[in-house]
Amino acid sequence: MIAEAGLALLWLAAALSLLQLVLGWAALRPGGEAMLRIVRPVAVAQGILVGLAFLTLIWLFLRTDLSVKLVAANSHSLKPWLYKFAGAWGNHEGSMLLWVTVLAVAGGAVALFERRLRQDTLIATLAAQAAIGLGFYAFLLFASNPFQRLTDIPDEGNGLNPLLQDPGLAFHPPTLYFGYVGISIAFSFAVGALVTRDVGPAFARAMRPWVLVAWIFLTLGITAGSYWAYYELGWGGWWFWDPVENASLMPWLAATALLHSVTVLATRAGLRAWTIMLAVVAFSMSMVGTFIVRSGLLTSVHAFAVDPLRGYFILGLLTLYIGGALVLFALRVRHVREGSPFEPVSREGALVANNLLLSVVLGLVFVGTLYPKLAEALGWSVSVGASYFNLVTAPLVILLVVVMALGPMLRWRSDRLKSVTGRAAAPVLLSALTLAALILWAPGIGPLPLLGLTVAPGVALASLMPLLGRNLRRTPLFTYGMVIAHLGIAVSLAGMAADSAFTQERLIALRPGQSTQVGGGFTVRFKAVQPVVGPNWTAVEAELEISRNGGAPFTLRPDARRFFQPPMDTSESSIQTLWDGQFYAALGQSDELGRWQFRLWWKPFVTLIWLGGVMIAFGGLLSLVGRLRRERRGRKIAKGKAKAVPDAVVESHA
Amino acid sequence: MKRKNQRLILLLLAIGAVLGAVLLGMWGMRSQASFFYAPGDIAREGRPLPDRPVRVGGMVRGAIARMADGVTVEFVIGDNTPNTIRARYTGITPELFRTGSGVIADGHFVANPARGGVEFVASNILAKHDENYMPPELTQRGMHKTDAVR
């Protein structure tokens, strides 16, 4: 019964999204004003219904209802409850349901909370969101039904891919999806504004918080995913340039560009058409990513199902939506008024540079990700790996962070380079000193890590400069947000560069009782191996005692795990975080001489990578709160004035 | 700056950036994209230049020899042609890497007179978690699980 209820909820939600689209369209026709009031509640109801359908699926997984095909194929009664719960989205159908849930809930949230947008633009936005939803409901209901029943009920389920049996599964996919699919709001806003020809600063101010929310989640989701891959996959790397990772990075790059261009539009009424374009591109990248991940085109932890039909379905949907939005853009772009002019050397100029660089990086990642697939279609086998991505993106990223450091020092509209030289002097000096120190004390670092290590401290200092000479208590919260986010970029960059410059790796086979040295002053003693039993796995666990320069030792216990349902071997790394980095140990196989393979790393300051990611997201959060607070205060003042003075005066203020 | 010019300049900048990106991307591809070679391909098309990143794949033929250091393995990759590639890898190999299994490895060719002229030094062996998995590059070349036994 419960599965049928879930399916019914999903059909109802699909019907409501059709209603939302039709009503929205009717409301925008002349004489359709009567429909205006119904569209909002319909959107909210749609969000609630899909949310309930999603809870239903979680309930089925928690109860391990094996009569449901999806549960039988992906769950197991012996699995710990957390993985039963999170396992609901650890498969193709469940993750698509989560996708659609986020889409509908985001639409519902806009209907519920958005009060600044012009009424007709809001209706058009909700209609656009419903149109996207409709396609993906069809995909769920016709090609990926999560509630399908089995006639032969098995005695036990097939279990969840052991690589996914990690607490990270409970956090990473939902966070990522909130960002990834949440950016659909920007897409719908853009479509809505094109339909009603409402591209202006007021529109940008309304759109900005939504973009920020999605961007914060996306940043957190990518950061969490990176850390998860780092400790789970046991390769010691934190970013593999896997197509699946790129699928989340591309929307992030576009959303970051959008976040900055929407600020130009909100404050200076510039970059109108460009902002709309970016909003379309950002969600298009999410859909392309969904296509890459969900089409079964590639084999990875994320590709659950290999069904080419599903791939074509998503390809059809994304062609329809991206194509539709681009056609609308082409038809309406001449109605988008030209923005206010500005000089090349100005805050706008720096933001344009930021946008161009981000777009170029996005393009390079896009080409590198899709080129092998394209080549495959032409009959060649080509793989594009980390060496390509690092080579082409790293120099641009360095340039990007330099622009990021200088931009906030410039004034809007027009400035002179001379005016920044004073403030830029200290950061440049700091970078120069760092470079000198590195060449003197740490020779032999590769050019890119050296560049990163040189630039990072200067950029960190420069990102604090906007606070210089200001009354810190009266500085608005969103300025702090920007400072912390930019500082986070510098921190993250420092972590990446330090990791690739200073990592010490030791690959060795040891017998119990033997010791080895790892660069950085570490002595590792392999004490023993012992068998360990978990709820649905058995393992051999090695005990390593590690001390640094003869100091107090700590213990690491990496293990090699064998899961029984599904049968699979995984290697669980063990990590000790010290103040200046992480010590990472992974266990390999044993040989006939009684030796065990170990992979040991000392990774100085690697933690900065994720600390930076969290700082970036936190900066976004401060910025969001700051903007919303200022707006509320602005409204209160406007209200107060409205009581005291005639309306005409208020108009001129607005 | 005049209004008319501004849009034009922005447009030119954008076009310039896109062109630059395309050039940079093509250059990156030319030097970094790695082509796939099965042993038979090398016999047909010749060996790729040393130090050029390539990806090789096929079946693990014969025993996997473990070197004295305990972490280096030497093995032979074959396919459904008589040709083979000698390969070496230092690191922890995936569980499903064994005699007869399909293997895909990234790395490059280096001269090694001790092992018959040239060998492939793998920097990474792609982990596959499914025993029945056959890399698409191999199935395209008409290889099947049974080829491993020959």
**3 state SS of A562:** strand
- Choose the weakest-confidence range: A90-94, A178-182, A308-312, A573-577: A308-312
Neighbouring C-alpha atoms within 13 Å toward the C-beta of A653: 13
Residue A104 confidence class, pLDDT cut points 50, 70, 90: very high
Measured in angstroms, the CA of B74 and the nearest CA of chain A are apart by 15
Centre a 10 Å sphere on the Cβ of residue A402 and count the other Cβ atoms it contains: 19
Residue A178 has pLDDT above 50, yes or no: yes
pTM of the model: 0.92
pLDDT of residue B136: 64
φ, ψ of residue A576 in degrees (nearest 5): -115, 125
Alpha helices in A33-113 (DSSP H): 36-62, 69-74, 81-86, 92-113
The pLDDT confidence band at residue A626, using thresholds 50, 70 and 90, is very high
ipTM of the complex: 0.84
- Whole-angstrom CA distances from A112 to A37, A107, A108, A385, B19 are 12, 9, 6, 44, 44
Contact A355, B17 (CB under 8 A): no
With a CB cutoff of 8 Å and minimum separation 6, the contacts of A641 are A649, A650, A653
B31 contacts: CB under 8 Å, gap ≥ 6: A391
Would you say residue A568 has pLDDT above 90?
no
Per the CB < 8 Å rule, is A388 touching B24?
A: no
The token pair at A587 is 């266990």
**Torsion sign (Cα): A264, A265, A270, A272:** positive
The residue of chain A with its CA nearest to that of B53 is A387
Category of B117 on φ-ψ map: left (φ > 0), alpha (ψ -120 to 50) or beta: left
- Judging by DSSP bridges, how do beta strands B117-125 and B84-90 pair with one another? parallel
A297 pLDDT higher than 50: yes
Q: Does A380 contact B at CB distance below 8 Å?
A: yes
For the segment A27-46, the average pLDDT, to the nearest whole number, is: 88
Q: What percentage of chain A exceeds 70 in pLDDT?
A: 96
Is pLDDT at A52 greater than 70 in this prediction?
A: yes
Q: Which of B22, B55, B71 sits opposite A597 (nearest CB)?
A: B71
Higher pLDDT, A419 or A110: A110
Torsion of CA A458, A463, A468, A472, to 10 degrees: -140
**pLDDT score of B86 more than 80:** yes
Check pLDDT > 70 for residue A641: no
Average pLDDT over residues A186-207: 94
3-class SS of residue A235: coil
A367 touches B: beta carbon within 8 Å: yes
Mean pLDDT of A497-509: 94
- What average pLDDT does the segment A484-505 reach? 96
Taking residue A166's Cβ as centre, other Cβ atoms within 10 Å add up to 18
Give residue A207's pLDDT.
95
- The lowest-confidence range among A101-105, A336-340, A577-581 is A336-340
Please spell the DSSP secondary structure of chain B, one letter per residue: --HHHHHHHHHHHHHHHHHHHHHHHHHHHHHH-EEEE-HHHHHHH-PPPTTS-EEEEEEEEEEEEEPTTSSEEEEEEE-SSS-EEEEEEESPPPTT--TT-EEEEEEEEEEEGGGTEEEEEEEEE-----TT---HHHHHTT--GGGGG-
Indicate if the pLDDT at residue B4 is higher than 90: no
Contact assignment for A367 to B25 by CB distance below 8 Å: yes
Categorize the per-residue pLDDT at A300 as very low, low, confident or very high, splitting at 50, 70 and 90: low
- Residue A597: enclosing H or E segment and its boundaries? strand A596-604
Average pLDDT value over all residues in chain A: 90
Query: Of A303, A177, A308, A157, which Cα lies nearest the Cα of A242?
Result: A303
Query: What is the arithmetic mean of pLDDT over B50-55?
Result: 82
* Chain A residue with minimum CA distance to B29: A388
What is the rounded distance in angstroms from the CA atom of residue A236 to the CA atom of residue A244? 18
What single string gives the DSSP state of each residue in A479-548?
Answer: HHHHHHHHHHHHHHHHHHHHHHHH-EEEEEEE-TT-EEEETTTEEEEEEEEEEEE-SSEEEEEEEEEEEE
CB hemisphere CA count around A339 (13 angstroms): 30
pLDDT at A367 over 70: yes
Backbone angles phi, psi at B71, to 5 degrees: -125, 0
Tens of pLDDT along B63-83?
A: 888 888 889 999 999 888 888
Burial class (CB in 10 A: 0-12, 13-18, 19+), A647: exposed
Between A483 and B24, the higher pLDDT residue: A483
Sort out which chain B residues have CB atoms less than 8 A from A589's CB and list them.
92-93, 95
Residue A299 is predicted with a pLDDT of: 53
**Confidence check: pLDDT of B133 > 60:** no
Better pLDDT: B45 or A523: A523
Q: Which residues contact A644 (CB under 8 A, 6 or more apart)?
A: none
pLDDT of residue A203: 94
Instruction: Using a CB–CB cutoff of 8 Å, tell me whether A569 touches chain B.
Output: yes
Query: What average pLDDT score do residues A410-424 get?
Result: 84
DSSP code of residue A182: T
Q: Decide if pLDDT at A627 tops 70.
A: yes
> E strand or H helix at A604, and its extent?
strand A596-604
Provide, as residue numbers in chain B, all residues whose Cβ is less than 8 Å from the Cβ of A356.
13-14, 17
The residue written with tokens 């959060």 in the block is A621
How many CB atoms are closer than 10 A to CB A471? 7
Half-sphere exposure of residue A167: CA atoms within 13 angstroms, side-chain side: 2
pLDDT of residue A194: 95
CB contact set of A104 (below 8 Å; sequence gap of 6+): A13, A17, A46, A47, A49, A50, A51, A133
Residue whose token pair is 């009031």: A37
Task: Indicate which of A246, A345, A360, A389 best probes the interface with B, i.e. most B CBs within 10 Å of its own CB.
Answer: A360
Question: A360, B66: Cβ pair inside 8 Å?
Answer: no
Task: Tell me which residue of A287, A292, A277, A91 sits closest to A186, measured CA to CA.
Answer: A277
Per-residue pLDDT band at B144 (split at 50, 70, 90): low
Distances (CA, A) of B58 to A55, A242, A506, B65: 46, 22, 29, 17
Distance CA B52, CA B42 (A): 14
Whole-angstrom distance, CA of residue B15 vs CA of residue B22: 10
* Whether B63 contacts chain A with CB within 8 A: no
**Chain B residues whose beta carbon lies within 8 Å of the beta carbon of residue A396:** 24
Which of A1-10, A373-382, B13-22, B125-134 bottoms out in mean pLDDT, i.e. has the lowest? B125-134
pLDDT per position as a tens digit, A202-229 = 999 999 999 999 999 999 999 999 999 8
Lowest pLDDT segment from A247-251, A318-322, B93-97: B93-97
For residue A571, the SS3 value is strand
Lowest mean pLDDT among A235-244, A433-442, A528-537, B45-54: B45-54
Higher local confidence (pLDDT), A130 or B30:
A130
CA-closest candidate to residue A189, choices A95, A258, A290: A258
pLDDT at A404 over 60: yes
Chain A residues touching B129 at Cβ < 8 A = 161, 163, 568
What's the pLDDT at B46?
Answer: 78
Torsion sign, CA atoms A393, A396, A400, A402 = positive
Report the alpha-carbon distance of residue A3 to residue B68 in Å, rounded: 58
Highest mean pLDDT among A179-193, B10-24, B55-69: A179-193
**Cα distance from N-terminal residue to C-terminal residue, chain B:** 75
Q: Look at A127-131, A209-213, A301-305 and tell me which has the smallest mean pLDDT.
A: A301-305
Cβ-based contacts of B20 with chain A (< 8 Å): 360
Confirm if B125 and B97 have CB atoms less than 8 A apart: yes
Of B21, B22, B69, the CB nearest to A509: B69
Phi-psi label, residue A269: left if phi above 0, alpha if psi -120 to 50, beta otherwise: left
Res A647 pLDDT > 60: no
Give the pLDDT confidence score for residue A373 in this predicted structure: 79
pLDDT tier for residue A364 given thresholds of 50, 70 and 90: very high
Do residues A359 and A251 lie in contact, with contact meaning Cβ atoms separated by under 8 Å? no
Whether A648 has a pLDDT exceeding 60, the answer reads no
Instruction: Measure in Å the smallest separation between the Cα of B25 and chain A Cα atoms.
Output: 6
Residues contacting A220, CB < 8 A, separation 6+: A175, A179, A613, A614, A617
Q: C-alpha distances in angstroms, A171 versus A28, A82, A178?
A: 40, 11, 11
CA distance A278 to A515: 55
- Contact, B80 vs B59, CB < 8 A? no
Query: Residue A651: pLDDT above 50?
Result: no
Alpha-carbon span A367 to A375, nearest angstrom: 11
Pairwise CB contact (< 8 Å): A299 & B7:
no
Q: For the residues A477-490, what does the mean pLDDT come to?
A: 96
- The percent of residues above 90 in pLDDT, for chain A, comes to 66
Identify the pLDDT of residue A615.
98
Winning range, highest mean pLDDT, from A344-348, A397-401, B90-94: A397-401
Across residues A418-447, what is the average pLDDT?
91
Quote the crossing angle between the two packed helices A477-502 and A607-644, to the nearest 10°: 170
Token reading at A248: 């989340």
Average pLDDT for A176-195: 95
Contact, A381 vs A375, CB < 8 A?
A: yes
Distances (CA, A) of A383 to A285, B56, B70, B110: 21, 11, 30, 20
Judge contact between A463 and A408, C-beta under 8 A.
yes
Residue A537 · residue A544 · CB < 8 Å: no
List of chain A residues whose C-beta atoms are within 8 Å of the C-beta of residue B24? 360, 364, 392, 396
Most confident of A24-38, A327-341, A413-427, A438-452: A438-452
Q: Which amino acid is at B82?
A: P
**Pairs of residues, one from chain A and one from chain B, whose beta carbons lie less than 8 Å apart:** 114
Helices A272-294 + A308-332 axis angle, to 10: 170
pLDDT of A654 over the 50 cut: no
Q: What's the gap in Å between the CA of A485 and the closest CA on chain B?
A: 26
Identify the three-state secondary structure at position A399. helix
Give dist(CA B93, CA B95) in Å, integer: 6
